[in-house]
Amino acid sequence: MTNQSQLRIAVDVGGTFTDTVVMDAANSVIASAKTPTTPANPTLGAKLGVEQALAQTEHTLSEVTGFVHGTTLATNALIERRGAAVACVTTEGFRDILEIAYERRYSQYDINISKPDLIVPRRHCFTVPERILADGSVHQALDESCIDGLVASLDAANIEAVAICLLHSYANPVHEQRLRDLLLARRPDLAVSLSCEVSPEAREFERLCTTVANAYIQPLMAGYLASFASSFASDGLQCPILMMTSGGGMTTIDTAARYPIRLVESGPAGGAILAGQVAQKLAEPEVLSFDMGGTTAKLCLIDAYRPQTSRKFEIARAERFIKGSGMPVRIPVIEMIEIGAGGGSIASVDRLGRIQVGPQSAGSEPGPAAFGKGGDQPTVTDADVALGLIDPGNFAEGRLQINEAASHAALSEQVGQPLQLSAVGAAEGVSQIVDESMASAGRMHAVEAGKDLSNRTMIAFGGNGPLHATRVARRCGVNRIVIPTEPGVGSAVGFLHAPVSFEIVKSQYATLDGLDVGALNTLFDSLIAEATEVVRAGSPQAELTCRRIAFMRYRGQGHEIETPLPDRPLETRDIDALRRAFEEEYSRQFSRAVPGMIIEILNWAVTVSTPPPDIDPPTGAVDTQGVEPVGRRSIRCEVRGETVDADVYQRQLLKSGAHLTGPALIVEPQTTTFVSSDFNAEVLGSGALLLTRHSGGLTQ
Amino acid sequence: MTQASNTSNQVMWNRLLAVVEQQGQALIRAAFSPIVRECGDISAGIFDVRGRMMAQAVTGTPGHINTMAEAVVELRDRFPIQTMKPGDIYVTNDPWIASGHLNDFLLLMPVFYRDQVIGFTSCTSHLVDLGGQGMGPEGSDIFDEGLRVPPCKLLDEGEVNGLLLDIVKANSREPIANEGDIYALIACCETGAQRLVEMMDEFGISDLEDLSNYIIETSRQGTLAAIAEVPEGIYDYALKVDGYEQEIMLKARLTVERKQVLLDFSGTSGCSQKGINVPLNYATAYSVFALRCIIGPDIPNNAGSLEPFVVSGPEGCILNAQPPAPVAMRHTLGQMTPDLVYGCLCQALPDLVPAEGASCMYDLPMRSAPEVAQRGGRVFALEPAHNGGTGARPGKDGLSATAFPSGVWGSQVEITEAMAPVLITRRELRTDSGGAGQYRGGLGQRIELQSANGEPFDVFLSVERIKNPALGRNGGSPGTAGRIRLQDGPDLPGKGEVRVNAGDTLIFETPGGGGYGDPAQRDQSSVAQDIADGLVSSEAASKDYQQMEGQDDV
């Protein structure tokens, strides 16, 4: 499909900044703006961004034909606990699904942990007499006489939103639906979320958590989305606004208001979509995206231009980003590993004399010691300053004067003295530790997906991604790095590459041998109809594609393997092909298939989607002339372990086709690309930088 | 050694820790055994050429902590290093060498660098079934419990020992799953070896000697510094546990010296006739785990951090069971040893040690009754895991229905019911089961279940704290004991087989944890919150926490 849009806008409301990007009919970014986020009313910051960006063009809001919005508001409301007073309603006998959870501590050696706060205290957990069985049959009808007592309890606790999660409701939703009707008939203002709609998957704990999180932010998000849309409409916007979701697709404002939980982490998803798009343009089928900002680094595997996805996400993990320490929700997400390693991450020395970096961050206030705003803890940025990789007079477009002496002093005091290292020696240590921990996170992430990192191409962005890319890549065995254009507003650019899509995952237990294809086709028909309706609301005419997935495993195993199904009704003779597809993927991940085992399927998924916009900006003229540096800096070379001179280039001045060799620094307003001495750099036709490693050997 | 090289050693140390974690994750994902999947009952480690452990994965259950370190030394000593060839892998499941019972298979692979053995990778995983009487305490000796594989070669220069694999499969009710798990173990050793070699290439080192010395010495010094903060002295404690045929006394003497911590089990009761006996390696694992949770928990496990902890016990006591004692359910009492150790350690560190908890996991293995199969009915076997409350911590309440010291994941009702014809009619916290205290013990839970299809099934129990509840600490009250029964029937013992017939409801109540500190000192608002949340009844509150009635009597 060719994209018919003439003028498209993306707005990414982040925690600190709101990024706005405008794309024209030729699919080129023609304007961008970075405005401060206005937390009290984020619409204001968004409007300012759109105004500023459009002012750089000859267009007005009424000419805009496509508008994509992503926001951290949902995520922040969950993390900062700014949602509604929410109660949960479960089956009688099962009041403690949240309290009991997985009966597990997330940290083996820490006996003083607290379990994650799951929003609803036990006093707001209510039950109703009813019971549905695993096969969907009604074992005990819903006792409707309970409703008055329940309403009285909700009133007494001033409850604003209710999460209803009855056992096995994924198999039969009638009791949840009836209960909602009964509640709304009495209290029409209640926000009610049903688990059978929010997350129709077996496993009551995660389903309830997802429903609670949805209910918790639903009143806030519904209000925000309505006011955002009406505000832009009254300013003259004619086209509908589409919302970016965690899964990397777009959906309508109405759907977003019903399932606001699907809006969490949409910003990072935009970054991964961008990386997928860059990979496709460069025909790089196996990619690692590396997004390093001020507080965290996020890594994502992208195969065949499709970011790896998952059905599970944890909200508000405790410090150190420990798995299991947050609130689990089951939503379609782009799978990323996020660790507490960014420019602001604080370095220290532990009692064993080991350098530790992060996860504590100096943030932007007081920020790294180099910012001269009162920070006296050395950070990763301070290490980069001490290594000479950041130009003190040209940081953040010169808006912030870097204090080199403060960086040296903090490094010396907190890291150098305990280890008898100079400030530069300490900086080298800090860099090695933080780069290794990002590389380790990436390797671990790959192992968990049954994949390998080496031989991938890294696509690096974010404020610190281009600066650390070569150092992290080398430790991952990665030899090619691409730095896209506009690396600082990557997420917003990514929004404009996203399809309109909706994914539904539903539990229906089956064994492969005993598969009832008739029943399964009926299930798929209903899932596809439901997802299509949602997508059609956002894209009335586009041709739609559909992905059908079975999550299969050997009976007795816990790990499910995603197996694609053909996009048509299944027939009995497909079963052999399914078995082969499963076994092929299984042996790819685990060396060999296991003969004779029963294969079972617990979950089925459908994704209905428009094709992604076909975007291929014109390539610039090729420059075969030599390139001139704008200066030289003395830097510490991590490959040779000595101080060397590096050429400094302005990225805007580099034309496509330009080649240069490391060590070099390529500076642009939002970031610096560090070309290590074992890398060469080349400017591609699209304007992206390609860094290629040419020699091995990590010298310490 | 220069500081600069210390940084690179630290980077390599971090790398080794990441490699063993990756190995562990890969092993868990490929595992067939539910206990591996639910509890992460595996381990992976990297060793230097002398057999000293350099890094070990932190997995769900601490049962492999020392066992692997000792097993590798034992295997390395049995097979001369000059006879080892690239691609060789050795194996054993001997409980007294590997990990305390037959189900745990341990593999050891020499790692070659430039034709020299420079170290080893090792891993352990719990296999589903090794024949015999299967997982359960009913064996009367080790021979009843299944197949024992003495230390031998599993791979000879990359070639699998087909006869050995056939023997393992021929002696198992789950031959295919066993084969799958063994292949996963092989892949785990090989991947670890490959990653180790890649790291040596990347960092340009040709042996592990300097790195190993750095890791072990740094960890040893850190551990000694942590031990130095524990007051020197001799601390005795005795813990009475339910046992099988009769109650059992576990005794320990903890001797804290400047440079080491000695733990001795002298005075502990002798072995049981049933398979709840514990080989010393396994008792050591849980005991040292408990100590290391308090003393230097931030230091990774390796030869240096483990060396200062020395555990002993007279041969033949139930915590140092000797062959041919049956040991299949060694974890039932093994998981009680942390409470035994803490009874000693709290005398030295009263402000750091939690109260006793439910401790032993409350798993609920069940199978369709044999006659169901004969009638052609639906056959099933299932082992959902559940837990009681943990002991209150100094400064914090205990955790309700949460595993400690193990790391098992509790099962989800919807999954249990989808997998087997059982109907769970209740799973809720037991009000008032947490021991009162300034900090309250964690609550146990009450689970009720019945047959969903009118066919009988059997439950195989091996749990503790039915007769002996978790005691409080520093004035805290005990938690409520566990309790198991059929509807209105008499209370059942914690070990043995229970038939659940059509119409029966099994009521399975897990114990609460002990309280910490004087209940009268409990913060009023915490008491009020517990009452509002229904964790403590107002009757119990007025009895246990007199403050509520304004009788400030302290």
Candidate from B30, B204, B396 with C-beta closest to A112: B396
Nearest CA in chain A to B33: A556
Domain residues for B540?
354-554
Would you call B401 and A100 a contact, using CB atoms and an 8 Å cutoff?
Answer: yes
ipTM for the predicted complex comes to: 0.92
Q: What is the pLDDT of residue A232?
A: 96
User: Among residues B161, B188, B220, which one ends one of the domains?
Assistant: B220
Task: Please indicate whether, in this complex, the C-beta atoms of A559 and B30 are within 8 angstroms of each other.
Answer: yes
Is A491 within 8 Å of A497 (Cβ atoms)?
A: no
Query: Could you tell me which CATH class the domain A8-79+222-263 is placed in?
Result: alpha beta
Residues of A in contact with B399 (CB under 8 A): 105, 113, 115
Tell me which chain A residues have a C-beta less than 8 angstroms from the C-beta of B26.
447
Which pLDDT score is estimated for B549? Answer: 47
Residues of A in contact with B28 (CB under 8 A): 559
* DSSP character string of B150-199: -SEEEEETTEE-HHHHHHHHHT-S-HHHHHHHHHHHHHHHHHHHHHHHHH
Q: Say yes or no: A450 contacts chain B, CB-CB below 8 A.
A: yes
pLDDT reported for residue A615: 53
Contact B222 A352 (CB under 8 A): yes
* Residue A319 pLDDT class (50, 70, 90 cuts): low
The domain segmentation of chain A, as residue ranges, is 8-79+222-263, 345-429, 501-609, 631-693
pLDDT digits (tens, 9 = 90+) for A628-670: 899 999 999 998 889 999 999 999 899 888 999 989 999 988 7
Q: Which helix (H) or strand (E) holds A580?
A: helix A574-590
Question: Is B543 in the same domain as B400?
Answer: yes
Taking the CA atoms of B312, B314, B316 and B318 in sequence, report the sign of the dihedral they define.
negative
Q: Which two tokens stand for residue B2?
A: 């220069």
Cα gap A224→B158, rounded to integer Å: 63
Q: Give the distance from residue A531's alpha carbon to the nearest chain B alpha carbon, in angstroms.
A: 25
Structure tokens given for A274: 């961008």
Q: Would B116 be classed as within a structural domain?
A: yes
B216 and B358 share one domain: no
Question: pLDDT below 50 — which residues of chain B?
Answer: 1-4, 548-554
Q: CB-side exposure of B344: number of CA atoms within 13 Å?
A: 28
Is B346 within a domain? no
How buried is residue A185: exposed, middle or buried, by Cβ count under 10 Å (0-12/13-18/19+)?
A: exposed
pTM listed for this prediction: 0.90
- pLDDT tier at A614 (50, 70, 90 boundaries)? low
Residue of B nearest to A100 (CA): B401
Q: Please provide the average confidence, as pLDDT, over all residues in chain A.
A: 89
Task: Summarize pLDDT for A48-66 with one digit per residue, the tens.
Answer: 999 999 999 989 999 998 8
Taking CB atoms and an 8 Å limit, are B387 and A444 in contact across chains? Answer: no
Chain B residues whose CB is inside 8 A of the A99 CB are: 400-401, 429
Among A95, A109, A153, A590, most B C-beta atoms within 10 A, so best to mutate, is A109
- Asked if A134 and B395 come within 8 Å (Cβ–Cβ), the reply is no
Domain tally for chain B?
2
Residue contacts between A and B (CB atoms, under 8 Å) = 208
Instruction: Choose one of B190, B220, B250: the last residue of a domain.
Output: B220
Task: Give the C-alpha distances (Å, rounded to integers) separating A511 from A522, A554, A600.
Answer: 17, 9, 4
* CB-closest option in B14, B292, B417 to A436: B14
- DSSP for B251-310, written as a single string: EEEEEE-SS-EEEE-TT--B--SSTT---HHHHHHHHHHHHHHHSSTTSPPSHHHHTTEE
Say whether residue B414 is in contact with chain A using an 8 A CB cutoff. yes
Is there a domain that residue B358 lies in?
yes
Which residue of chain A is at minimal alpha-carbon distance from B222?
A352
- Cα–Cα distance between B468 and B360 in angstroms, integer? 12
Report yes or no on B412 lying in a domain.
yes
pLDDT at B474: 97
Q: Is the pLDDT of residue A219 over 60?
A: yes
The pLDDT score that the predictor gives to residue A697 is 42
* Residues A192 and A147 sit within 8 Å (Cβ to Cβ): no
- Taking an 8 Å cut-off on Cβ atoms, the answer to whether A112 and B14 are in contact is no
Residues of A in Cβ contact (< 8 Å) with B416: none
Is A432 within 8 Å of chain B by CB?
Answer: yes
Q: Do B11 and A436 touch (CB under 8 A)?
A: yes
Contact A557 B399 (CB under 8 A): no
> Taking a C-beta distance cutoff of 8 angstroms, is the pair A262, A251 a contact?
yes
Residue B520 makes CB contacts below 8 A (sequence gap 6+) with B545, B546, B547, B552, B553, B554
Decide if B27 is inside a domain.
yes
Domain end call among B185, B220, B255: B220
Q: What is the 3-state secondary structure (H, E, C) of A254-302?
A: HHHHHCHHHHCCHHHHHHHHHHHHHHHHCCCCEEEEEEECCCCEEEEEE
Count of CB atoms situated within 10 Å of the CB of A397: 9
Any idea what DSSP says for residue A26?
T
Which comes out higher in pLDDT, residue A122 or B39? Answer: A122
User: Is residue B514 one of the residues assigned to a domain?
Assistant: yes
pLDDT over 90 at A624, yes or no: no
- Confidence (pLDDT) at A699: 40
**Chain A contact probe: residue of B11, B42, B58, B537 with most A CBs at under 10 A:** B11
A509 shares contact with chain B (CB less than 8 Å): yes
Q: Which positions in chain A touch B4 (Cβ < 8 Å)? A: 421, 425, 700
Asked if B402 lies within 8 A of A597 by C-beta distance, the reply is: no
- Looking at residue A294, what is its pLDDT? 81
User: Which of A202, A436, A597 is nearest residue B415 as measured by Cβ atoms?
Assistant: A202
Each residue's pLDDT tens digit, A478-502: 999 999 988 877 788 888 888 888 8
- A-chain residue closest to B429, CA distance: A96
Check CB contact under 8 Å for A103 and B408: yes
One-character DSSP codes across B20-81 = HHHHHHHHHHH---HHHHHH--EEEEEEETT--EEEE---S-GGGHHHHHHHHHHHHHHS-G
Any B CB within 8 A of A448 CB: yes
Nearest residue in chain A measured CA to CA from B34? A556
Touching B: A residues 144-203, CB under 8 Å: 167-168, 202-203
Residues of chain A positioned with their CB less than 8 A from the CB of B128: 556
| A150: amino acid identity, one letter | L
The closest CB to that of A111, out of B62, B354, B412, belongs to B354
In a domain, B288, yes or no: no
- Could you give the C-alpha distances from A619 to A605, A655, B24, in angstroms and in order? 39, 11, 47
Q: Provide the 10 A C-beta neighbour count for residue A543.
A: 8
Task: Tell me what pLDDT residue B362 has.
Answer: 94
Tell me which residue in A109, A352, A419 faces B293 most closely, judged by beta carbons: A109
B302 within some domain: no
Lookup result for tokens 């109660």: A87
